[in-house]
Amino acid sequence: EAGVTQFPSHSVIEKGQTVTLRCDPISGHDNLYWYRRVMGKEIKFLLHFVKESKQDESGMPNNRFLAERTGGTYSTLKVQPAELEDSGVYFCASSWGLRTDTQYFGPGTRLTVL
Amino acid sequence: AQKVTQAQTEISVVEKEDVTLDCVYETRDTTYYLFWYKQPPSGELVFLIRRNSFDEQNEISGRYSWNFQKSTSSFNFTITASQVVDSAVYFCALSRVRGGSQGNLIFGKGTKLSVKP
């Protein structure tokens, strides 16, 4: 069974540009999460989808971040326009039906904003 | 508020030594889950264990063992006879079972373990 995949693995962009990160969850997982780790800090929750619906986006830092989950399958996280402080590693995780089910993570996307 | 503290930033041991990674958590909830994840150099977070707050039994899986002490709010992880392949960053995490932010993981800062041959 394929795990959670994320694309790209690395992205280097300039301040003010737009970047879109993609996550493909484990097949059949209803829950999809986005997390972020900025340099030297904890991994922090960004938002949670159940199928195609946003359940909790309390961790999204500001309105420059937009997440979607098309048809309850893959998800994208767009940053527009990117700022220097957006640099970090963005992780995606998925889990089965319950919110308390174990989350399985992808390899992350390392975003560098210059 | 919930919080997870991993006081050890980096640990270095020689192969075959035993090593314990500390995790202390804060929560007012009576029911919660605790987790350990491993992040090898390849970058992905690998799930190791999930423990329900009602289950205080220690767990052993091969060379790995976990000691859950509710009285001290700790969930420590011990690797026995460490190997070079154990080198990674290890994260402890907490999640709520009920209420707002249910299921969202709250992570510690991680402990980087280096096992030298």
> What tens digit of pLDDT does each residue of B48-65 get?
999 999 988 888 999 999
Residue of A nearest to B47 (CA): A104
Residue A109 burial by CB count (10 A; 0-12/13-18/19+): exposed, middle or buried? Answer: buried
Each residue of B13-52: pLDDT tens digit?
Answer: 999 999 999 999 999 999 999 999 999 998 999 999 999 9
pLDDT at B99: 78
Closest chain A C-alpha to B91 CA, distance in angstroms:
9
CB contact under 8 A, A42 and B109: yes
β-strand partners of A111: A11, A88
Answer whether B44 sits within 8 Å of A33, measured CB to CB.
Answer: no
Chain centroid offset of residue A16 CA:
20
Which tokens go with A80?
């527009």
| Nearest by CB: A108 against B43, B95, B110 | B43
Least confident of A4-8, A64-68, B14-18, B27-31: B27-31
Q: What is the pLDDT of residue B25?
A: 98
pLDDT band at B103 (very low <50, low <70, confident <90, very high): confident
Provide mean pLDDT across the span B73-87: 97
What is the model's pLDDT at position A1?
Answer: 67
Average pLDDT over residues A70-80: 93
Percent of chain B residues past pLDDT 70, beyond the cut: 100
pLDDT, position A32: 97
Interface of B with A (CB under 8 A): 4, 33, 35, 37, 42-47, 50, 91, 95, 97, 100-110
Residue from A42, A46, A101, A104 whose CB has the most chain B CBs within 10 Å, to mutate? A42
Q: Which of residues 32-91 of A touch B (CB under 8 A)?
A: 33, 35, 40-45, 48, 56, 58-59, 89, 91
Note the maximum CA span of chain A: 39
B100: pLDDT strictly greater than 80: no
User: Where would I find the H helices in A1-114?
Assistant: none
B103 and A41 within 8 Å at the Cβ level: the answer is no
CB neighbours of A55 closer than 8 A, spacing ≥ 6? Answer: A48, A49, A99
Among B45, B48, B50, B92, most A C-beta atoms within 10 A, so best to mutate, is B45
Is the CB of A3 inside 8 Å of chain B's CB atoms? yes
Q: Dump pLDDT digits (tens) for A77-110.
A: 999 999 999 999 999 999 998 878 899 999 999 9
Share of chain A above pLDDT 90, in %: 89
